[in-house]
Amino acid sequence: MIWAIYFAIASLLAIGIYGVITKKNLMKIFISISIMETGVNLMLIAIGYIPGGTAPIENGDFTTYVDPLPQALVLTAIVIGVSVLALALVMVINYYEKNKTLEYRRLMKW
């Protein structure tokens, strides 16, 4: 079961990196980055999973909890992802105003 999730994580990251490299449209590039971020968030959660554990809210009925630390980290990672995405969208708007296109060809140029 956990291997299905591991497979999903690796696929999300691979799809994301493929999108960033092959796409020229800026919106698609940033969507690919969001996909990668989803993958890594899922990965943190999967690493914190303990078989049979419940959510770490202590009501007294349960004895096994999942690891709460990765969940706190994911909360941070999600907010950071959102912030970067917001700034990225604004840059894309500005880029469109200047160039009247969303094509971005300089990414792979070194």
Partner 1 sequence: MVIHPVLLIAIPLLFAFLMPLLKRAKAVTIIILLFNTLLAILMFHNVYNNGPLYEIIAFSPPIGIYLYVDNIAALLAVMINLLAFINFLSVEKVEIKFAMLYLLAVASSTGIVITGDIFNMFVFFEIAAVSSYALVAWKRDKEALEGAIKYMVLGSIASVLMLVGIAFLYSEFRSLNIYDIMNRMDEGSVLILLSFAFLLTGIGVEAEIFPLNGWVPDAYQGAAGSIASLLSFGPSKAGIYAIARLLMIFSWQQSYDLALSVGIMTLLIGELAAFRQENVKRMLAYSSIGQMGLILISLSMLDSTDYAIIAFFFLLVSHAASKGALFLLSERKGFGSNASKYAGIVSVMSLIGMPPMAGFWGKWYIIMGAMQMEAWWIIAAIVFSSVVEAAYFARYLSTTMQEEEHASIIAAYPPAIMATLTLLLGILPFIYKIATIGGVING
Partner 2 sequence: MRRMAGIVLAALLFACIMYAFTFVKTYDYNSSDYYYTDPIEGGKVNETVTGHYIENTKNETGAINAVTAIVVEYRGFDTLGEVTVLFTASTGVSMLLYSLHQRRKRREANLILKEGSKIVLPFILLTGAYIFIHGHLTPGGGFPGGSVIASGFLLMMVAYPKYFLKESRVSITESVAGMIFVLIGMLGLVFASYFLENFLSLGDVGRLFSAGIIPIIYIAIGFKVGAELSGIMNNLKGVEE
Residues that bind partner 1 (CB under 8 A): 13, 16-17, 20, 26, 29-30, 33, 36-37, 39-40, 43-44, 47, 67, 69-70, 73, 76-77, 80, 83-84, 87-88, 91-92, 94-95, 98-99, 104, 106-110
Cβ count near 29 (within 10 Å): 19
- Could you say which of partner 2, partner 1, none residue 99 binds, taking C-beta under 5 to 8 angstroms by partner kind? partner 1
Among partner 2, partner 1, none, what does residue 42 contact (CB within 5–8 Å per kind)?
none
From residue 5, how far is each of 10, 39, 40, 61, 93 by CA, in Å? 9, 10, 12, 28, 35
Radius of gyration in angstroms for the set of CA atoms belonging to the chain, rounded to a whole number:
18
The count of chain residues that interact with partner 2, using the rule CB under 8 A, is 47
Residues, the chain: 110
The residue among 58 and 109 lying less far from partner 1, judged by its C-beta, is 109
> Hey, CA dihedral for 11, 17, 23, 25, is it positive or negative?
positive
Cβ at position 105, least distance to partner 1 in Å? 10
